[in-house]
Amino acid sequence: MILSIESSCDDSSIAITKIEDNRLIFHKKISQEKEHACYGGVVPELASRLHAIDLPNILEETKPYLNQLKAVAVTNQPGLGVTLLEGIAMAKTIAVTKNIPLLAVHHLKGHIYSLFIEKEQKLPLLVLLISGGHTQIIRVESLEKMTILATSIDDSVGESFDKTAKMMNLGYPGGPIIEQLALEGDEERFGFPVPLRNSKLIAFSLSGLKNAVRLAIESLGGAEGMSHQDKCDIAASFQKAVKLHLLQKSKKVFSQEKIKDFAIVGGASANLYIREAYEKLCKEFGKTMHTAPLAYCSDNAAMIGRYAVEAYKKELFTDPYKVDIVSTKKHQSGAEL
Ligand code: KG4
Ligand code: ZN
């Protein structure tokens, strides 16, 4: 069995995965959303202190399995430095005291492996990763070969949902709140510009849209001056512009890539409005669409464990005395993940 730890942002999570059949033996996640909600976003120091409380509590529950561990895995990049350190310290301690190998896992690769929790892996795949920190299209050929085909030049999809919600004082995380309000909204009311619509760039950009949303909110008198219907209409119009932007750039990638299987992963892949739009697009391009179960779209240790099973088989171990946070550079398209 492999014990995996995730603490890259505001979720403390530990999982235990069986190596021989990918079975998830244990999985628990304590989300800090409530604690950060009043700030409209994650406060790193607070998140780190909460991990220091929650991770040991979850670990306590894994006691029955600790003697059966073959390895320990932990997210070491990308994420908030101070929160990654909490998971890394715990993983190091387990690796050293139990004298078992340590696997350092890239969080985004973990999101991709959320597709294969309790399943066989099926590659190659084209993946749209939409989370709080990233927006990328990735060609996944194997565990070791993942190539970024398109990336955001500024904000990520999840971040843009969070900021739109924050501008209307709706709380955090903004994604599910905006998706819910949009159901009652008129998506044609504001006609927000679709980012990079006339650009040949195969890339994503959401900061211009965020500005357009901000101006519309200000013109309505700010969060306090808006009616419930105004908020729903902003949410729906914003979400529509995000969808059209993602679809337009994805179409360009689809027409260049022959891989038949396509997947959406990451926290924002829980958005059913976006999922539905991609189902249609995949039909049009003859691709088969895959998603992770809703419970594994946002950050969790089960996906880190599932990646770790494959990494363990290839003995991609890291010296526990040397494992550290890795500060990930902004990736350019064409780079390896
Ligand atoms: O993958 P994740 O849990 O954390 C990162 O790796 O960043 O993603 C969290 C992000 C947040 O920005 C959240 O607002 C967004 O995912 N999110 C959504 C939805 N559910 C979560 N965005 C749009 N629609 C949703 N239903
Ligand atoms: Zn994530």
pLDDT tens for the chain, 337 residues long, are: 999 999 999 999 999 999 999 999 999 999 999 999 888 789 999 999 999 999 999 999 999 999 999 999 999 999 999 999 999 999 999 999 999 999 999 999 999 999 999 999 999 999 999 999 999 999 999 999 999 999 999 999 999 999 999 999 999 999 999 999 999 999 999 999 999 999 999 999 999 999 999 999 999 999 999 999 999 999 999 999 999 999 999 999 999 999 999 999 999 999 999 999 999 999 999 999 999 999 999 999 999 999 999 999 999 999 999 999 987 766 778 899 9
Query: Whose C-alpha lies nearest to ligand 1, atom 10?
Result: 132
Q: Which atom of ligand 1 is nearest to the CA of 271?
A: 26
Report pLDDT digits (tens) over 161-178.
999 999 999 999 999 999
Ligand 1 site residues, Cβ closer than 6 angstroms:
9, 131-133, 158-159, 161-162, 173-176, 179, 266-268, 270-271, 298-299
Around Cβ 166, how many Cβ atoms within 10 Å? 16
Around Cβ 288, how many Cβ atoms within 10 Å? 12
User: Which phi-psi region, left, alpha or beta, contains residue 226 (left: φ > 0; alpha: ψ -120 to 50)?
Assistant: beta
Distance (Å) of CA 247 to CA 110, 235, 310: 24, 18, 31
Distance 336 CA to ligand 1 centre (A): 23
Of the listed ligands, the closest to the CA of 134 is: 1
Cβ neighbourhood burial of 155 (10 Å; 0-12, 13-18, 19+): buried
Whole-number pLDDT of residue 328:
73
Distance 169 CA to ligand 2 centre (A): 24
* Maximal C-alpha separation, the chain: 62
Q: Residue with structure tokens 């088989």?
A: 313
Distance 257 CA to ligand 2 centre (A): 25
CA distance 143 to 141: 7
Whole-number pLDDT of residue 330:
65
Q: Which atom of ligand 1 is nearest to the CA of 272?
A: 26
Whole-number pLDDT of residue 174:
95
Whole-number pLDDT of residue 239:
98
Mutating to test ligand 1, I would choose from 42, 278, 298, 303 the residue with most ligand atoms within 8 A of its C-beta, which is: 298
Backbone angles phi and psi of 29, in degrees to 5: -135, 130
Distance 95 CA to ligand 2 centre (A): 24
Mutating to test ligand 1, I would choose from 31, 108, 131 the residue with most ligand atoms within 8 A of its C-beta, which is: 131
Q: Where are the alpha helices (DSSP H) in the chain?
A: 33-37, 44-61, 81-98, 107-113, 157-167, 174-182, 207-219, 222-225, 228-256, 272-284, 301-313
Whole-number pLDDT of residue 85:
97
Among 87, 17, 78, 19, CA closest to 47: 87
CA distance 144 to 285: 27
Of the listed ligands, the closest to the CA of 130 is: 1
Distance (Å) of CA 53 to CA 32, 59, 257: 11, 11, 46
CA distance 337 to 111: 12
CA distance 217 to 264: 30
DSSP state at residue 9: S
Q: Which atom of ligand 1 is nearest to the CA of 274?
A: 24
CA distance 143 to 159: 27
CA distance 76 to 88: 7
Q: Which atom of ligand 1 is nearest to the CA of 165?
A: 14
Distance 108 CA to ligand 2 centre (A): 7
Distance 101 CA to ligand 1 centre (A): 32
